[in-house]
Chains A and B, each alone.
Chain A
């Protein structure tokens, strides 16, 4: 092996020229593949819109069936109250108890309301009137929500019946819903979708691109160039950084103007936060590419090894508080989790930068760790 230690070390300016040349090459690669570029710029937008609107735990228009053997003024009044309400849609009136079973199995309704016989009589004369709310428990969330709503509606009816507008000893709660008074689902999901999209695109793009060079064997050539390996790697990440920034801006624009999710706090710090997060995601991509040898492996790890945990454990869909401790620990090392928390603080809650210092620090240290480890992996490959 030739002794290269006597080579003249490139000057700072020389390094910079090399670096820019590499960056330019990367840009050319990307722009030449118009189809991929289109996908990378347009798909996140589509995903944001799709998921921001489609992911929804708010229950509306749940199909309900009623079995009413009494058919009196009380039952009719209750059924009408349910029908009138947005949450429910009366699908049909059942004629026999057997139909209850069938209507659940066919998945036609989410809930069946069953009245006892002689309902109004029992109600008015202090007897035992019963309403059974049978919900399809396959979706616990829906089941819980609609039975709670239905109970509330029925209890309100009960209060009306008492005709006591002035019940003595009344405690009245005033409820204030903070940050999101209309309970718009997008407020909760959009930050999560943002976090997921940015992480996946950055990690995926960078890792696949570097893996492609490895596969083609051109990586070795790059690493042997006069430029330090660190700069070679960084030069690959730079164009994707710019693409991600473009993505970030479009995502923010869409969130605010199309989906009506406001930026209640400082836009500046939101962008700083997002840039830091993009950097972490790119570093994650670097790490993945430093351990795989083929494009397909990079892609599969990004898709399956990253996407799945992020979707489920980052808090974007399911609240982390409910998870077992071990899973919460895993969630803590997912960058998306911290980003999503911070975005919610700034965008939805409208807090100042002081509130997200922890998250910034965590993301910052993640970036440093990821870059260091990737570099070490690349260096050992050289040796």
Chain B
């Protein structure tokens, strides 16, 4: 068993042969990879490829069937609660409380993650100013348009300045312009040293990442920078890269 001290400081995520089976069905098949501090790491793949399942294991939401992984230096098998203190999370459903106001959502998560109470109000106002949401401070989340909900959810996820933030398909359902704005926020976070682990099925977003891995049928078919992948496969863009790799896929979304 490898102890915390043996994981290098700058490797915030390390996975070795991470596997998840549901009965006879292997959702995630011996995943091995590493993510460095401050990286924007894209986890690509078709629907049903196993991306979300892998992410949930890293977040401590799901127990692995076999294999090992360390997040922020902590073992996912035994130290999930410690991991949770160091990470942020944004799920596919956004998971903000629709019947709470904008500032109430921020306050809740800030408090949960241990931001001192005196600071919360001030930092909330700063955040809203940065996002341009000041007028919406008192609005119920359910009244916000989708793109705004996404930005808000992301901001809430990193409000406590975690080491890593996990994003599960964060930009579904909005047009490319809005998606680009979202990625601006991601860049700002990465600049501050927050590692970003993001799953997506939008191949154009792959271009925004430092490195991407492409999952097919539960295992990693390729892992490299977008440029290297395009060169290797003589592809014009990531879409093309993906199609070449995905032709082997046997699984589609259930």
A–B contact, 8 Å CB criterion (strictly below): no
B residues touching A (Cβ–Cβ < 8 Å)?
none
A residues touching B (Cβ–Cβ < 8 Å)?
none
